[in-house]
Chain A
Amino acid sequence: MRKIFGIFVVLTLVAGTVLFAGGPARVGAQGGGTIEATVTYAGAPVVEKLKVNKDTEKCGTEALIEKVVVGAGKGLANAVVSVAGAKGPSTAKKASVDQKGCKFTPHVVAMTAGELEIKNSDDILHNVHTYSTANPSINKAQPKFKKTMTEKFEKPEIIKLTCDVHSWMLGWIAVMPHPFFGVTDGNGAAKIENVPPGKQTVEVWHETLGKATKEVEVKAGQTTKVAIEMKK
């Protein structure tokens, strides 16, 4: 009797742990599907050029402000692709953005709520200046000797990131409410894994071109391809 009770307790604990730790993400891991999105833009790239008058050893002599980056096959880079309305836990991996060559790398960093590591690989002063409404905005100096700092972003929001010392520096922090997101690469491709099966809405956000959505049917264990064209 006692033995049976013991086994029951252990089973309950195990089951509970699995269920608790699982949630939608774990469901995805076991029975989720994959979305492979391709974001395209038929228009021309938008790149502003600026002559650099300081720190040219680090920043180069000409700065590019890349507002729309279009790669092979009209693929649109730097777009955040996500599953609209989804719920899920934070990802364990700490997001990171670097200031290198007077550019934010990556240009768009997507993360779930939590800490963001901000690096300064340039050996010159940058100031990390965010424009946000849901999260407290920050404007912190990051001199050459402060190689890394960590900032917390608790609320979902897309935040503009700038540096006043180098006015052309522009980046974005996309704080997402769930882990089902990706950022398009140079060819406009992004992959989202472990998406809960069923009808889902894929949402695209781009800093210059705005938002677009498309409905998809996600099947467990399968890859769903979706093509989304952004318009001006």
Chain B
Amino acid sequence: MRAGAFGSIVLAIIGLLLHAGTAGAQGGDAAAGKSVYEKKCALCHGDKGDGKGAAADLLVPKPRDFTTGVYKIRTTASKAPTDQDLFKIITDGMPGTSMPPWAVLPERDRWNLVAYIKTFAAEKFKEAPKKLELPKEVASSPESLKRGKEMFEAIECHKCHGTDGRADGPSRPELKDEWGTPIAPANLTKAWTFRGGASRTDVATRLANGILGTPMPTFLDSVEKPEDIWHVTNYVLSLGPGTVKYATLVTVTAVSDAIPDDPNAELWKTIAPSHIPLMGQVIVDPRNFNPSIDMVSVRAVYNDKEIAFHLTWDDPTQSVEDAAKKTFADAISLQFPPKITADTERPYFLMGDASDAAYLLRWVGGTGVGEATANGPTKIAPIAGGEATGKAVWANGQYRLVMRRPLDGKAGTRPTFQPAVFASVAFQAWDGGAGETGTKMSLTSWYYLRLEEPQSNRRFVLPPLVAVLTLAAMVLVVRVASRPRAK
């Protein structure tokens, strides 16, 4: 009897919980959503939901204008997204944009927000959403990837997304959204920046359904066979690593041979890269709120004479200074303190200041590799008698660069690199084709760099020697012990 009553109470509680869950999913309270919206969303999306909040001018892509009722990310065959689609974007944010994930808000608030933002274009949500039916899923396999590549080429994804998927296609400079704002295609090698998520279903849905308001068209009926949607999806996801793990330390590997200048040389493929995230420079004017270069991958080696850095970064256009086209030279620099010792006080990370200079090892498109002293981002002076050399190549939206110089800085303004001493390093990059020059750059704060200690040949000599000596000692002990005792 008591057990029965207990059971029904448990059932009732479960029922209540379930009910609460579905109630949330079905309909938030728009009035309650309004107050959350005004606190959390209006700054970018505007009080009226028209995407004209105070911060909107600084953002690329622009905040959504909810009054249009047009949403990029949807899983429906009809024009309006489902409540779940909107909830997902609020919860997860939109990677690669200014829209952060709002999972910190209580779930109830997020459903209320869904209800409220729909009121800005209520007539667009009148019809019940129709779910998009994707073709039967095909798992990734070598055959699927082969077919995916074939179809990727046949449907000409490269026109916008580039041959290797790095957003460097020939149509890139012409692309505009439906409101006339320039818009960049997705860099398909960086799945972690995909606006609507990077799961296989997310990617297949974007490909099949297009992205409303943007140049990305629907491909559901525009592939040769329905399952090609999945083959292309599998291929797209094979173009990059899927996720990225950012480094905090750059390790410089010791090598015994000469270091090649060629960025495509075999040696570089054997060195694991450290991925460093870059941010826009927003401290001094003119600022760069929407930087083009968001990551540089660093490989570094040294031998008994030289240290060399191999840098890889995506840049959709190879550009040099050209006043007519309003482009500038692409450039990148590694920044170090002028002296590397265990207790060095580092100069100001933004290229030093008037009293403490920073040392730059840099490459500038059309000029090449050089060394410079900086007393702030606008006071850069090349170092006379610099010894740095190197070579850059650009292909399919990506730069690969080798810069090398002697370990010994010969005192003065150039640091000397020594094994096992932690050095500070920072990075700055400019995409001249996107109008970046001077203080309009991407940069990092200070990171650490360490030359690993050279592995000497003693490890091949000492352990065997110790082993032999130990064996000899043991034999000796056994001999002594087993000798008949003298009377």
Contact = CB atoms under 8 A, between A and B. Distances in A.
B221 interface: yes
Interface string B158-192: 01100000000011001110100000000000000
A91 interface: no
B171 A141 contact: no
A167 B222 contact: no
Given A143-B222, A164-B171, A125 B176 contact: no
A225 interface: no
Interface in A123-146: 124-125, 127-129, 131, 136, 139-146
A219 interface: no
Interface in A37-79: 53-54
A141 B154 contact: no
B156 A124 contact: yes
Contacts of B224: 145
Contacts of A149: 221
Interface in B221-240: 221-224
B308 to A, nearest CB: 36
A119 interface: no
A19 interface: no
B429 to A, nearest CB: 25
A225 B215 CA distance: 44
Contacts, number: 62
Chain B residues touching A, majority SS: loop
Interface size class of B (residues with CB under 8 A): 20 to 34
Interface in B217-273: 217-219, 221-224
Interface string B60-91: 00000000000000000001000000000000
B215 A129 contact: yes
B154 A143 contact: yes
A54 B212 CA distance: 25
Given A131-B178, A140-B221, A145 B154 contact: yes
A134 B435 CA distance: 40
A166 interface: yes
B79 A136 contact: yes
A143 B221 contact: no
B210 interface: yes
Contacts of A125: 155-156, 159
Contacts of B223: 143
Nearest to B159: A165
Interface in B253-309: none
Interface string A144-157: 11100100000000
Nearest to A52: B170
Contact of B171 (A129, A136, A167): A167
A219 to B, nearest CB: 46
A160 B215 CA distance: 14
A53 B222 contact: no
Contact of B210 (A139, A144, A165): A139
A167 B176 contact: yes
Given A136-B79, A139-B218, A144 B154 contact: yes
A141 B218 contact: yes
Interface string B406-442: 0000000000000000000000000000000000000
Contacts of B212: 139
A166 B219 CA distance: 18
Contact of A140 (B79, B174, B176, B217): B217
A139 B160 CA distance: 15
Contacts of A144: 154, 156
A167 B159 CA distance: 12
A166 B399 CA distance: 27
Contacts of A124: 156
Nearest to B207: A141
Given A53-B170, A146-B222, A167 B155 contact: no
A140 B210 CA distance: 8
A127 B79 contact: no
A120 to B, nearest CB: 10
A165 B171 contact: yes
Given A53-B170, A164-B215, A141 B79 contact: no
A128 B174 CA distance: 16
A141 B217 contact: yes
Contacts of B210: 139-141
A141 B222 contact: yes
A142 B222 contact: yes
Contacts of A136: 79
Interface centre among A53, A136, A164 (most CB of B within 10 A): A164
Interface string B364-407: 00000000000000000000000000000000000000000000
A83 to B, nearest CB: 32
B1 to A, nearest CB: 62
B222 A164 contact: no
Contact of B175 (A128, A139, A143, A167): A167
A128 B210 CA distance: 12
Interface in B196-218: 210, 212, 215-218
A54 B218 contact: no
Contact of A54 (B155, B170, B178, B217): B170
A54 B171 CA distance: 8
A146 B155 CA distance: 10
A53 B160 CA distance: 13
Contact of A141 (B170, B175, B219): B219
Contacts of B221: 140, 149
Contact of B217 (A127, A131, A145, A166): A127
9 contacts: A125-B155, A127-B215, A139-B212, A141-B155, A145-B154, A164-B160, A165-B160, A166-B171, A167-B176
Given A54-B170, A144-B156, 5 more contacts: A125-B159, A129-B217, A140-B222, A144-B154, A146-B222
Lowest 8 A-B CB distances belong to which pairs? A164-B215, A167-B174, A125-B156, A54-B170, A127-B217, A141-B222, A141-B217, A143-B155
